[in-house]
Amino acid sequence: MRLPRTVYIILNVYALILAGIMIWPVLQMLLTSVTSDVVFPPQNFSLNAFNRVLWPGFFHSMGVSLQLGFWSTLLLISICLPTAYVLERRRFPGRSLLSAVIFVPTIFPSVTYVIAIGVYVAIYFIELRGTFPIIVIATAMGAIPLVVRTIQGSLATSDPVYEEAAVVMGASPMQAFFRVTLPLIAPGVITAATIAFTFSATNFLAPWILGATDPPVAVYIYRDVERLGFTPELAVQVLVMEFIILGMVQGLYFVFRKQLRGVFT
């Protein structure tokens, strides 16, 4: 329908303001990290906050986060790739039930299932409490729907004909999958891996509630908030954390640039 000109402009400005609210956190963090105190409008620009961060501790927990991201991504891809393949290419009884089960981790509030895991571990496997493997498997849960859906989407757009042709010519189903289908859906799998990695490496809830003995970076930063409140040093740490993780993602894209050719252009 035709909108009056003023209404159109107002709506456009409104949409841009909402978008601005979404983008503004990045600017806020950049601004806070280069000021010496949390005052607006900024008065003393300085890079003191960068010097006051305890870098060894930060980089140690950053390393834990990256390991968490790596193992969780590996776990997620090895679980979700076969699942997505079956959901997309096979017909079997209970298929629609299974695609509903995939969404269970987003349906349940994540606090309740992480608490359930925590209580279960604390009662039956007390010696495993807060250890790295428990954190990895609990963190991975939340990303299952996103990862399965992403891989499934790229399977849906790739034609099964090629795989069938390979099988007809004598390839085993395994060969057909790894030599034909996987290269075809590589962009989807890599995107899914980056989603899984950013989700797990920046995850706060699971390591925090399970009481990680060697805390990943999100928990490490939050512990300082509990002690000192929101200081510019913390802004620096959050910013560096985000930079490193996005840098890893970009690195992944660079490593697989051949497989991703033509996807982002």
Partner 1 sequence: MGAGENMERVDGQLSARPISLSHRIRMWQQRYSSTVLLLAPLLLYMSLVFAIPIMFQVAFGFYSRELYKGVLWRPVPDFTLDNFVRVFSGDEVYLSSLLWTVGVAFFTSAVSITLSLPVAYFLARYNPIGRSLIELSFLLPVFGEIFTLFALAYAFAPQGPINWVLMGLGLVQEPIRFIGSPLVVIIWMSIPTLSVLLIRSALVGVDVLYEEAAQTMGANTLQTFAQVTFPLAKRGIMGALLLSVSSGVGVYTLPLVLVGPYNSWLANKITREVNPFFNYPMASALGVILTAVSAVFLYLYLRSQEAGD
The residues in 149-178 that bind partner 1, with binding defined as CB under 8 A, are 173
Using CA atoms, how far residue 152 sits from 82, 191, 217, in Å, is 10, 12, 31
Q: 66, 249 in Cβ contact below 8 A? A: no
Query: Looking at beta carbons only, is 188 or 233 nearer to partner 1?
Result: 233
Cα–chain center distance at 228: 28
| Token digits of residue 221 | 């930063």
Query: Looking at beta carbons only, is 97 or 258 nearer to partner 1?
Result: 97
**34: phi then psi, degrees, rounded to nearest 5:** -105, 10
196 binds partner 1 (CB under 8 A): no
Which member of 74, 171, 182, 209 binds partner 1 (CB under 8 A)? 209
Site map 39..78 versus partner 1, x via CB under 8 A: xxx---------------------------------x--x
Query: Looking at beta carbons only, is 136 or 258 nearer to partner 1?
Result: 136
Which member of 59, 105, 131, 252 binds partner 1 (CB under 8 A)? 105
226 binds partner 1 (CB under 8 A): yes
- Smallest separation, CB 70 to partner 1 (Å): 18
> Which residue pairs from 82-85 have beta carbons closer than 8 angstroms and sit at least 24 positions apart in sequence?
83/148, 84/148, 84/151, 84/152, 84/155, 85/151, 85/155, 85/177, 85/181
Query: Looking at beta carbons only, is 27 or 258 nearer to partner 1?
Result: 27
